[in-house]
A and B are shown apart, each in its own frame.
Chain A
Amino acid sequence: MRKVVTGLLLAGFLFYVGSLLAGIFLVDAPEQPRIVGSTILAGAEDEAGAANTVTSVVVLYRGFDTLGEVTVLFLAASGIALLFGHAGKAKIKKGNAGPGFILRTGGRLLYPFFFLFGLYVIIHGHLSPGGGFPGGVIVATGFFVALLTGDRVNIPEGWFALCESLAGVGFIGLGLVGLFGEAGSFLAQVFPLGDFGSLVSAGIIPFIYAVIGVKVAAELSGAVGRFYTSDEGETL
């Protein structure tokens, strides 16, 4: 009896939700001009100066959100540090044999290319798809490869924290240049735009993306490193 009632209630609820969803997604949206989207597409080249309009939106038009998202990532990394940081400092037991010669050598050959590619993606964020977030993740993947293949990369204690703090301060600092400068608003485009589409262009955008790249790389590497912290300090 209870099952029948539950089933009926559930069916009724699903029907209700389904009809609501149908109202939202199946019926054609009213023919609205996409005001924000079209305005940005029309003006981004002159205002932001980045060849990649998505980057203009992420770093400039919605840069304040991006600052928030970077903070969310910072929070997640802090949470890991707080919850796993001093908890017994358990070592992850490596396999009996440890990484073999081929794995170790392969890892050594591979991870410099990760760093190089990551840097490329960060630096070219205003020109091509990519930028600080994916680039930072690629750099952190380089650390992770070094870690998995068993080569110990000695990072002095606090180095990741230093990078992420300076990057955070740098992001806000770049924004404040706009606030206290002529533009009078936080995160405004204050630097000269340069030649459209060249590496040195888009004013403040590449700087902000570089700072984001450093921050993302340091946070993710630090977070992964937390799980592998040994008694010897922060060794990766």
Chain B
Amino acid sequence: MVNPIMLILIPLLTVFLINLVNIKWPKFSAGLSFLAIALTTGMAFTLLPEVMQAPIEVVIAGTKAPIGINLLIGPLGLMLSLIILVTSLLVSMYSFSYISDERKGMYSGLFLLLIVGSLGMVMTGDIFNLFVFFEILCISSYILVAYQRNEHSLEASIKYLLLGSIGSLFLLISIAILYRGLGTLNIADIAARVGELPPSTRIAAAAFFTIGIGVEAAIFPLNSWLPDAHSSAPSSISAMLSGFVIEVALVVLIKIVFSLFAFAALFWLLAVVGVVSLLIGEFAAYRQENIKRMLAYSSIGQVGLILFALSLGTEAATRAAFLQIINHAAAKSALFLVSGYMIIRTGSYQIADYRGIARRMPVSGFVFFLAVLSLVGVPPLFGFFSKFSIVMAAVSSGSTGATVLTGLVLLGTVVEAAYFIRVLQHFYQREPAKAVTAARSERGAGAESSIEAPIAAMLPVLAFALFLTGGVLLLGSITGLADAAVQDLFARLVSVLA
């Protein structure tokens, strides 16, 4: 049996090896990082049967929790790990050709650290260890956002750094409050004894925790950094940040709320905030002219939808939210990756400059089309099942409030469809824009020649597209895993406090 701690250690060890390789042979680092992610992904899949039986506890330093640190890998943690690893595997394949400057060796190391941080956050059973991995995740994202070192990316990175650091501080205060009150850092141990805390302490800890991690989870109104950061990062990194980083923070927030702070009022607050995020994100995306900003605002909207579903607090809604996380990871990653090469080819971020581009980048255009349909929720794509089940779960939860919020969610979807259809109209117009006719690929110019992205970059994009169309066939086993994850989450919920 593979020890689950290897899922964290292999990428981390590779980071240090890459740093070594970079001294002389930086061109090998991308391959090394790809191999490490592939190996880790394989290991994560082999853990699947065992974790479905019972969660695995990993003791560290030979000291049992709560004295030492432990990892606790249940279906929820493993499901998120698989989303993280599969997405990163495909994105790292895309990065082979996409990242080609002289600093690509460092890119591979930081890319792996982003994965290490995310995996650690979803696997750890210790709240301070959670903070440490949260820091690894945040700091590697700040650096990667600034990777292109132009005016926009540096400004976005500083903005993200300031808000993120304040968020981390809030998280740390929350952990300090819990430790002062209970003298333990193990999440299961805190959960068992959190009732001993006076209510004001518990509310304060919940507030600090929600705000602290809410910055990274891009919950309204803590998400002002997101449009800048996600739009000025390299497109491969935007795919990672939108594809799973926000969702990991969100699910960790919900996991901790379920186990430590199950106040009914907090669930309602999060549901309302989720719908507000959704509406603000979708309406703001509608107004964008820059393709990556539009996709970034769309991520705010999608995260709002996921938060809404998670905080309804019913098993059906939570399962639907997990499916939507998978759908968003695949669809939004595909969209960012496709737009990455459109930006390179045309040299522009403006949607207006992409008129007629689908005729010269037919595969990219088609993948964009499919991903948009899945994101909006058109049958028979994967997104239809996830979105439909969110709406069904919300309506059948029975409360009037949830039904009203569902109406607003549907309104958000209509807006989403509207702006994506506008983009597609531009893509498939007959009259090409000047930027498109002038675009040239490595093989040469010419108005008729294809300017399609290189094959190594298209393969991962096609894999995402294939999942969005064919994923329905896997729906049975995916739902099985999501169901187990729901049980894992609800097993933590002792009782909802009025």
Contacts and interface: CB of A to CB of B under 8 A. Distances in A.
A83 B106 CA distance: 11
A78 B198 contact: no
A95 interface: no
Contacts of A30: 181, 196-198
A86 B102 contact: yes
Interface string A105-116: 000000000000
A154 interface: no
A186 to B, nearest CB: 5
B180 A29 contact: yes
Interface stretch (B57-65, B90-98, B255-263): B57-65
Interface in B128-142: 128-129, 132-133, 135-136, 139-140, 142
A34 B60 contact: no
Nearest to B154: A83
Given A72-B136, A161-B20, A64 B60 contact: yes
Contact of A158 (B23, B103, B129): B23
B296 interface: no
B109 interface: yes
Nearest to B146: A83
A82 interface: yes
A65 B16 contact: no
Interface residues of B, number: 59
Interface string B192-233: 000011101101100100000000000000000000000000
B184 interface: yes
B149 A87 contact: yes
A169 interface: yes
Given A65-B128, A179-B3, A23 B24 contact: no
Contacts of A34: 183
Contacts, number: 165
A185 B59 contact: yes
A14 to B, nearest CB: 15
B66 A185 contact: no
B87 to A, nearest CB: 21
A152 interface: no
A36 B133 CA distance: 21
Contact of A75 (B17, B143, B146, B181): B143
A21 B103 contact: no
Interface string B165-196: 00000000000010011111100000000001
B204 A168 contact: no
Nearest to B62: A188
A140 B149 CA distance: 28
Where chain B touches its partner, the secondary structure class is helix
B120 A68 contact: yes
A165 interface: yes
B13 interface: yes
A82 B13 contact: no
B7 interface: no
A61 B67 contact: yes
Given A78-B110, A82-B147, A164-B19, A32 B182 contact: yes
Nearest to A72: B135
B393 to A, nearest CB: 34
A64 B63 contact: no
A97 interface: no
B5 interface: yes
Contacts of A69: 132
B323 to A, nearest CB: 31
17 contacts: A24-B177, A30-B181, A30-B198, A32-B181, A32-B196, A61-B63, A61-B68, A68-B135, A72-B135, A75-B139, A75-B143, A79-B143, A161-B22, A162-B20, A168-B19, A187-B61, A189-B62
Given A36-B185, A87-B149, A172-B13, 7 more contacts: A23-B198, A40-B67, A69-B132, A74-B15, A83-B146, A178-B62, A185-B61
